[in-house]
């Protein structure tokens, strides 16, 4: 049985962004095929929570080869989406981030894939920061499609 969501999914409106795609990429410099997040739905510094959204669009670079006839969003890209989410949290924290420092990927543990994510789906990615120190940050992440958990994992990042 999957764990409970870190936030009430019913309270989230994927059409009400608090940070749009351009705002995300002022902090996370990924471009082109590696722009995973479409926006941020919520940042709660008091609770160390962040929620982002990604729509899986037709024609993405992986679609043609990742299960022809039944394209499934690759798990490694779910991990990348989660990493960009917690990197945005750390990189936008005025008490943590330093100007010009990139928040890089440091590792991932305890990953579970619990369902397929397909073209046309919208994944809601939730991160709860569980540790943040000068040399690293750690976030527990969850991904949901239509209210069902499809992904969970612990992401470690670091200022580079």
Q: Does 4 reside within a domain?
A: no
Q: Does 1 reside within a domain?
A: no
pLDDT tens string 91-139: 999 999 998 899 999 999 999 999 999 999 999 999 999 999 999 999 9
Q: How confident is the model at residue 2 (pLDDT cuts 50, 70, 90)?
A: confident
Place of tokens 């992986």: 62
Q: What is the DSSP string of 34-87?
A: G---SEEEEEETTTTEEEEEEE--TT-TTTTTSSTTS-B--HHHHHHHHHHHHH
**Domain count of the chain?**
1
Closest CA to 103 of 135, 71, 59: 135
CA 146-151-153 angle, 5° bins: 145
Active site residue 30: no
Q: Residue 124 sits in which domain range?
A: 9-159
Catalytic: which of 2, 17, 30, 66? 66
Q: Does 3 reside within a domain?
A: no
The whole-model pTM stands at: 0.97
pLDDT tens string 44-78: 999 999 999 999 999 999 999 999 999 999 999 99
43/94 Cα distance (integer angstroms): 13
**Which residues make beta-bridge pairs with 79?**
none
CATH code where residue 120 lies: 3.10.129.10
pLDDT tens string 12-50: 999 999 999 999 999 999 999 999 999 999 999 999 999
The answer to whether 149 and 117 are in contact (CB under 8 A) is no
């Amino acid at each position: 049985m999957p764990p409970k969501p870190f936030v009430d999914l019913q309270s989230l409106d994927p059409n009400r962004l608090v940070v749009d795609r351009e705002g995300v990429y002022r902090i996370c410099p990924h471009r082109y095929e590696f722009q995973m997040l479409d926006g941020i739905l919520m940042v709660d510094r008091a609770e160390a929570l962040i929620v982002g959204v990604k729509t899986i669009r037709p024609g993405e670079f992986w679609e043609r080869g990742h299960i022809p006839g039944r394209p499934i969003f690759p798990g490694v890209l779910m991990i990348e989406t989660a990493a960009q989410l917690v990197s945005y949290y750390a990189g936008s924290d005025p008490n943590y981030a330093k100007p010009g420092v990139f928040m890089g990927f440091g590792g991932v543990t305890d990953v579970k894939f619990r369902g397929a994510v397909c073209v046309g789906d919208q994944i809601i990615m939730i991160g709860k920061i569980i540790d943040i120190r000068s040399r690293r940050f750690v976030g527990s992440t969850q991904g949901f499609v239509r209210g069902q958990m499809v992904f969970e994992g612990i992401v470690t990042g670091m200022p580079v």
